Amino acid sequence: MAQLTEIRWHGRGGQGVVTAGQLLAETALGTGQYFQAFPDYGPERMGAPIRAFTRLSDEPINIHSQIEEPDVVLVLDPTLLGTVPVTEGLVEDGVLVVNSSQSPDDVREVTGFRTGKVFAVDASHIAIEEMGREITNTPMLGAFVAATGLIEMEALTEELRAWFTGKISEEAIQANLRALKRAADEVQEG
């Protein structure tokens, strides 16, 4: 893994953006990596665009500034494309992972991100099919793992199970795990 990877999450209040960042941090902890996870605090309302940030590294992280030039951007809500500048500051060889029913080429068209790598997965569709609700954080974590390889799927699966145990039913945990795996399998690179 690179020395330090900076990740920015885009979503809407209620989609589990902050939880996704926390899950990633917990997974990193379990695999001996260093991490920071912090949301962008402002007025928090259901449905409003929100951002969260994660840093991952093999070494202790000293820096405590905001992430202005992320290496990876994840977009949990397809309606944010074209409304929020999701690729702002994304480094040239960066990775963009988007919840979209469109192809990666179409995502490049909409976002204007011509370099780096673009991944698209219909996480909303997967979430509704598997969990009955459009909560896209777990499928997008699956897509993140497939797109970047920054953490192990097995470690993430274990962490996700541990995180949800006692919070939601076993049935709901299984649905989340299916969504996680499906998104990892179905994500398209272009």
Partner 1 sequence: MSKLEALTGNAAVANAMRQINPDVVAAYPITPQTSTVQTFSEFVADGLVDTEFVTVESEHSAMSACVGASAAGARVMTATSANGLALMWEIVYIAASNRCPIVMSLVNRALSAPINIHCDHSDVMGMRDSGWIILMSENGQEAYDSMVQAVRIGEHPDVLLPVAVCQDGFITSHALERVELLEDEEVQDFIGTYAPQWSLLDLDNPKTYGPLDFYDYYYEHKRQQVEAMENAHGVIAEIADEFGKKFGRSYGYLEEYRMDDADVVVVAANSTAGTARTAVDDLRDEGLKVGLLKLRVFRPFPAKELAEALSSAEAIAVLDRSISFGSMDNSGPLFTELAAALALQGVNVPIADYVYGLGGRDIAPGEIERVYRETLEMAETGESRGVTYLGVRE
Contact of 190 with 148, CB cutoff 8 Å? no
Q: Shortest approach of partner 1 to residue 29 CB, angstroms?
A: 5
Nearer to partner 1, 24 or 120 (CB): 24
Indicate whether 66 belongs to the interface with partner 1 (CB under 8 A). Answer: yes
Which of 51, 64, 65, 59 lies closest to 20 in space, CA to CA?
51
If one counts every other C-beta atom within 10 angstroms of the C-beta of residue 34, the result is: 16
Nearer to partner 1, 90 or 146 (CB): 90
Indicate whether 14 belongs to the interface with partner 1 (CB under 8 A). Answer: no
Q: Shortest approach of partner 1 to residue 125 CB, angstroms?
A: 30
Indicate whether 5 belongs to the interface with partner 1 (CB under 8 A). Answer: no
Interacting residue with partner 1 among 3, 41, 112, 167 (CB under 8 A): 41
Indicate whether 9 belongs to the interface with partner 1 (CB under 8 A). Answer: no
Q: Using CB under 8 A, which of the segments 34-42, 95-103, 122-130, 144-152 binds partner 1?
A: 34-42
What is the rounded distance in angstroms from the CA atom of residue 145 to the CA atom of residue 124?
A: 17
Query: DSSP assignment, residue 184?
Result: H
- Burial profile 84-120: b = 16 or more Cβ within 10 angstroms, e = fewer: bebbeebeeebbbbbbbebebebbbebbebeebbbbb
Q: Shortest approach of partner 1 to residue 104 CB, angstroms?
A: 31
Contact of 37 with 56, CB cutoff 8 Å? no
| One-letter amino acid of 119 | F
Indicate whether 65 belongs to the interface with partner 1 (CB under 8 A). Answer: yes
Which of 128, 145, 126 lies closest to 20 in space, CA to CA?
145
Q: Shortest approach of partner 1 to residue 68 CB, angstroms?
A: 7
Q: Using CB under 8 A, which of the segments 61-69, 79-87, 98-106, 147-155 binds partner 1?
A: 61-69
Indicate whether 148 belongs to the interface with partner 1 (CB under 8 A). Answer: no
Binding site for partner 1 (CB under 8 A): 21-22, 25-26, 28-29, 34-39, 41, 61-66, 68
